[in-house]
Amino acid sequence: MSILKLMLRPKNIEVELPAGSALTDLEFELYGQETIPFGCRSGACGACLIEVVEGNAPFNERSQEEQAFLAVLGYSGDSFRLACQCRLLNNVTIRLVSQTG
């Protein structure tokens, strides 16, 4: 099993996870540290919106439901994802996207 690196910006947190890990696993890997703000965990709230800053095909493909919800939020570009729907496939740097307002 390969180990992959995930860099979380702007907090500059780097973590290593096994390939195929769900990003929700970050809560267990970084217990006590503030990471991605997971809300509903079902892709329906947008709390865990991230942008891929660097990385080639780092996650599983988006489902039609995730893609539609991202469009509703106004984030239809390929670099935007809901972290709760992502499984890590390659090394990646991501940025938290603030959902204020």
pTM of the model: 0.90
C-alpha pair distances (Å), 80 with each of 3, 17, 77, 94: 23, 21, 6, 9
Q: What are the tens digits of pLDDT across the range 83-96?
A: 999 999 999 999 99
Positions in the chain short of pLDDT 50: 101
pLDDT tens digits for 33-44?
A: 778 899 999 999
What's residue 11's pLDDT?
Answer: 87
Distance CA 53, CA 11 (A): 14
